Structure 1
Amino acid sequence: MVDSIHYGKQIIEFELQYSKRKSIGIKVLPTSSVEVTAPIGLGVDKIKEELLKKANWIIKQKSLMLNLDSNLVDYEVKSGYSVYYLGRKYKIVVEQSNKVEVFYKGNLFLINVKSKDKARAVFDKWLRERAMSKITEIAKPIIDKFSERFEAPEDIFFQNMSTRWGSCTISNKLIFNPKLIHTPKRCIEYVVMHELCHIVYKNHNQNFFNLLTMMMPDWEKRKEMLDCFA
């Protein structure tokens, strides 16, 4: 169902769905539309009350989505376009050069290539290698923290996934989407801890969320941030 709330002079429309979840979930999509998932049986008035508490955040996220130059995880490698790296927006500058290199300076990604039609391939290769290195670096202290209480693998793996940020296999192999490199460090930390908790509980049952909350008390705020990059 579609409903709305009034916040000052603004009207925030949202699509409401019910599920077996324990708390209200709010997601601002890249289209700037708002999805709300609420526990079964929770009254609309109570849902609107909670939405009003988050109204300022929703408006900021809607504004962010409306100002994006391109999809956060699908980008054009051409001068004038933008790409997100660790949650920060960088303008792309492609220049023809005898050197082939990628580096960033200030708020710019500078891509030097012998032929501009090779810019995408050069940048994608650099970004994937950077993602594997940086995500591993960010994951290490999270894995170390988890390992103080539970057994966890030392190595992590990477795989392109169209609908998931990460996964934990039956054999406890941790796999992460290189596209996480577009999201803030706090989001990467959340995904790593989320998948680590699946070593103990394979399903999203209450025990899983209790463990996640114990290991990372602010995970819901991190997830809200991550949802903006989905």
Structure 2
Amino acid sequence: MIAERTIKQCKKYPLTYTLVIKQVKNINMRIAHNGEVIVSANPFVPMEKIDEFVSQKAAWILAHQKQMEQRQGYCEMNEHQLMLFGNSLRIKTSVAKYNHVSYDKTTLYVQHKEGADVERVIRRFLDKLCKDVFLDVAQLTHRTLKEYQLEFPQIKLRDMKSRWGTCTPAKNQITLNKRLIHYPFEFIEYVVLHEFVHFIQPNHSKAFYHVIENYMPDYKQRMELINH
């Protein structure tokens, strides 16, 4: 049985959380690797009680999210290493006549002009890589869902603190978090499918996850790729 998931806005504080309705004894809360607040409760708990539970922990949530963001920023890239598709690559730099970045299984090779900002060179490379990879995954996902005859959406990329992606059906638009490029490719595929399915099922209902499972039977395992 797939738990029902919905996005809720805390009434007292500017906090968004994912509410999971399932058979649990108490109200439980955890913060996922991406900073998402996930609250689980059984179907008989009043919404007011759940919202009050989240409100009481607001200060702790914000502090914990800030700590996670700082740790993730260090983990994803620093002057010595870069996480790319879930793999830790050693950064090797060299001065050249032009800026160029390439990589293999263990190393990110950064050629840069004399005096160039190496981090900016890497960021520009990552931006282009995100655009190419995410668009390819989106096109493949669109073809996979061809029976629904969806119009191909506009794909936007930006840095987001608490979401891996968002879907705006009214604008036929999907926005993906550029930080996804640091995580396993299988997880990127899941996030893209997740957002596409919102054009079919607008909320996180059982029907929503039924569509996802139909096209990606191992989606739960892919979700766990960033939680260990």
**TM-score of the aligned structures, taking structure 2 as reference length:** 0.66
Is the counterpart of residue 222 in structure 1 residue 222 in structure 2?
A: yes
CA contact (8 A) 1:28 1:227 kept: no
Q: Which amino acid aligns with 2:201?
A: Y
| Cα shift readout 1:110-149 (whole Å, capped 9, x = no counterpart) | 1121245510111100111011101211222111111223
Is the counterpart of residue 40 in structure 1 residue 61 in structure 2?
A: no
Q: Which amino acid aligns with 1:40?
A: N
Q: Which amino acid aligns with 2:186?
A: R
In the TM superposition, residue 70 of structure 1 has moved relative to its aligned partner by 6.4
Q: 2:198 aligns to what SS in structure 1? A: helix
Q: Which residues of structure 2 form unaligned runs of 5+?
A: 1-18, 44-70
Q: Which amino acid aligns with 2:135?
A: T
Q: Which residues of structure 1 form unaligned runs of 5+?
A: 1-18, 42-67
In the TM superposition, residue 191 of structure 1 has moved relative to its aligned partner by 0.5
In the TM superposition, residue 100 of structure 1 has moved relative to its aligned partner by 1.6
In the TM superposition, residue 209 of structure 1 has moved relative to its aligned partner by 1.9
Q: Which amino acid aligns with 1:156?
A: I
Is the counterpart of residue 92 in structure 1 residue 94 in structure 2?
A: no
Question: Size of the alignment, in residue pairs?
Answer: 179
Q: 1:199 aligns to what SS in structure 2? A: coil
Q: 1:175 aligns to what SS in structure 2? A: strand
In the TM superposition, residue 155 of structure 1 has moved relative to its aligned partner by 4.2
Specify whether residues 217 and 27 from structure 1 end up closer, same or farther in structure 2 by C-alpha distance, changes over 3 A only: farther
Of 199-208 and 180-189, the range deviating more from structure 2: 199-208
Quote the residue 2:199 is aligned against: 199
Is the counterpart of residue 166 in structure 1 residue 165 in structure 2?
A: yes
Quote the residue 2:180 is aligned against: 180
C-alpha distance in 1 between matches for 2:38 and 2:160: 25
Quote the residue 1:157 is aligned against: 156
In the TM superposition, residue 201 of structure 1 has moved relative to its aligned partner by 1.9
C-alpha distance in 2 between matches for 1:197 and 1:69: 28
Match runs of 1:1-230 below 5 Å = 20-22=20-22, 39-40=41-42, 71-73=74-76, 75-76=77-78, 78=79, 81-115=80-114, 118-153=117-152, 155-171=154-170, 172-228=172-228
C-alpha distance in 1 between matches for 2:174 and 2:72: 32
C-alpha distance in 2 between matches for 1:26 and 1:83: 31
In the TM superposition, residue 36 of structure 1 has moved relative to its aligned partner by 9.0
Q: 1:124 aligns to what SS in structure 2? A: helix
Specify whether residues 185 and 26 from structure 1 end up closer, same or farther in structure 2 by C-alpha distance, changes over 3 A only: farther
Quote the residue 1:65 is aligned against: none
| Cα shift readout 1:42-96 (whole Å, capped 9, x = no counterpart) | xxxxxxxxxxxxxxxxxxxxxxxxxx996444x22x2xx2111112211111222
Q: Which amino acid aligns with 2:88?
A: K
CA contact (8 A) 1:93 1:110 kept: yes
